[in-house]
Amino acid sequence: MLDSRLKFLQSRAEDGPAELVGLEATGRFALTTEGVRTPRVRVLVRMAEGHGADDLAELSQHMGLTVHIRAGDVVGGEIGIDRLTELDESEAVSYVEASRPTLTELDAAVPETHADKVHTGPPGLRGAGVIVGVVDSGIDWRHGCFRDPTGKTRILRIWDQNLTPEAGEASPAPFGHGVEYQRSAIDDALSSPNPLGMVRHMDDSVGHGTHVAGIAAGDGSSAGNGQPEFTFVGVAPEAELVVVANRVTTEALGDSMGTLEAVGYVFKVAETLGRPAVVNISQGDNLGPHDGSSLLERGIDNLLDTPGRALVKSAGNAANAGVHATGQVTEGDSDVVSFLVPVGDDTPDTLDIWYSGADRISLRITPPNGTASVEIDPGTTSTEVDLSGGNKAFVDSVVHHSLNGDNRIYVQLSPGSQTAIRPGTWSLTLIGQTVADSGRWHAWMERGRTVPQFIGAHRNDETTISVPGTSRKVVTAASYITKGAGQGNLSTFSSRGPTRDGRHAPTLAAPGQAITSALVGAAGSSQYQPMSGTSMAAPHLTGVCALMFQSSPTLTQDDLVLLLTSSARLDPFTGGAPGDDWGAGKVDAAAAVDAIP
């Protein structure tokens, strides 16, 4: 089965290459149109049961599938759009999913987590011998807080997926793209009068990755911001780092295939060095079933089957963003959900609706001050709908989706003959043709620079955790406030659970609001800056996992989840546990380490 997003790209390809060039320019589609004979798309592929390496080699040879990462039965790679149907028809393939853009989870501390008690001991753990992987925008590798006491770097590798190798540079094997810098090259650059001439990698101007890395593993050795050295110390200040800089577009920080590659890369480096590793992902996306069955989540779960590996994901900042709606239909009746499109929305907008495989729901779309579209029945796939006012909708209504057996209605709005999607209040009318289960539906809106928001009674702040945070294995971090107004409370932006299949989420909470950490391009007394978001909460938990790995390097992801949740702190703010806002409560690093058998 082909993902709805891939069907949309196939339909656009029929209109000529200019259509795909335009879609690539939006930053919302993992496409390559320049320098290739046929436009290519980044995909995740689930292999059918009983099919393995030989079948994969045949797909590569005969269909031009370039494989970058394999994680159990999930494979990430690139393929020509003109070969997608052939790939889908292969008996070796169960499902092909488009790589989707991921975005940072940044909203416009160590003593609180009790990690300082672990640092001083006994036993005195600071993350030594453990690898912290940071999959993000990159890192300012020149910052003093990422060096050891001798001035040498603690960064073992940087893989910049944005760069093309120049003389003396190489891509990491077997991934075959980007540029890899090893520790020795970074040290040589640090002692050079022109460091960026030797190591070209730079974090972006926001410095999201630098800030995240500083929370997890900065040593605070740089004085700055009016504070002495060792004021802003990270959770695991003696851990070593492996950093992957995701591909950056105008809309996104990386995509799901590149994220799976990055996680696999960190674990590959750690395996080579014989070290435990914990990976931090402070980014995500809103599309997909939100039940752990997406191929990115399945691939990550497969990679976490090995002891000494862990992954922490930010919950997301969507609790009050209007990205989720839910409701129920009864048989023969309808439910109308509204969303508001802003002025100047000139890029495609995606709505993703999921409901029980036992029900059958049809759809009508009504633009602002317009007439309703034709009714789109369940099972109607790859349909182009002309809307009043000149906009268009691509609708793919799938019955018994191969990911999970549920039903999906994928809606892609585009300007059509107009320069932008019509601003104002749109409505989706969901009609219960057959309701043999609950009639419950969930809808999510893709994120971006200019995107719609759900409004009215169906708008819902629950089930807003971003993918891959609804995985069955990852540690998902909520954010709470540690200073100023609301101290002790959950951050209002912190995404809530449960998952769509009813599991409690997030896992637990960590400090995430107004967190001071390493500043990109630090100079003089300006070494640190505050940022807020579940992006800042996740690296606190990542650092705690590093401390736990130093104590017991063969812990599994399941072990870590149990230890973290069973030792979490409860107080009047958290209430009882587990819940779908705080998870198990507030992280307690000292109690988690003490709980290790």
Q: Is residue 535 among the annotated active site residues? A: yes
Q: Which is it for strands 349-355 and 334-341: parallel, antiparallel or unpaired?
A: unpaired
Q: Rg of the chain's alpha carbons, rounded to an integer?
A: 24
Gap between the Cα atoms of 57 and 47, Å rounded: 12
Whether the CB-CB separation of 468 and 475 falls below 8 Å is answered with: no
- How far apart, in whole angstroms, are the C-alpha atoms of residue 591 and residue 597? 12
Under 8 Å between Cβ of 467 and 296:
yes
Report the sign of the C-alpha dihedral through residues 138, 143, 146, 152, in that order: positive
Dihedral (CA of 584, 587, 591, 597) sign: positive
* Nearest C-alpha neighbor of 471 from the set 279, 326, 321: 279
How many other C-beta atoms lie within 10 A of the C-beta of residue 505?
27
Distance CA 130, CA 542 (A): 11
Tokens found for residue 338: 């509204």
Q: Which of 143, 208, 401, 442 is catalytic?
A: 208
Record the tokens describing residue 60, joined without a space.
């590569």
Share of the chain residues as helix, strand and coil, in percent rounded to the nearest 5: 25, 30, 50
Strands 424-434, 360-366: pairing kind:
antiparallel
Residue 501 is a catalytic residue? no
User: Between the CA of residue 589 and those of 232, 413, 569, 596, what are the distances in Å?
Assistant: 17, 46, 10, 11
Q: Taking Cα atoms as reference points, which of 534, 438, 429, 433 lies closest to residue 478?
A: 534
| Type and span of the H or E element at 350 | strand 349-355
**136 assigned to active site:** yes
Start-end of H helices in 69-180: 84-89, 110-113, 115-120
Q: How far is CA 22 from the centre of its chain?
A: 24
Catalytic residue among 458, 535, 540, 567: 535
Please, are residues 105 and 314 in contact by the beta-carbon 8 Å criterion?
A: yes
CA separation for the pair 28, 570 (Å, rounded): 40
- Write down the catalytic residue from 136, 291, 406, 581: 136
Measured CA distances, 587 to 141, 218, 320 (Å) = 29, 19, 24
Enzyme catalytic residues: 136, 208, 535
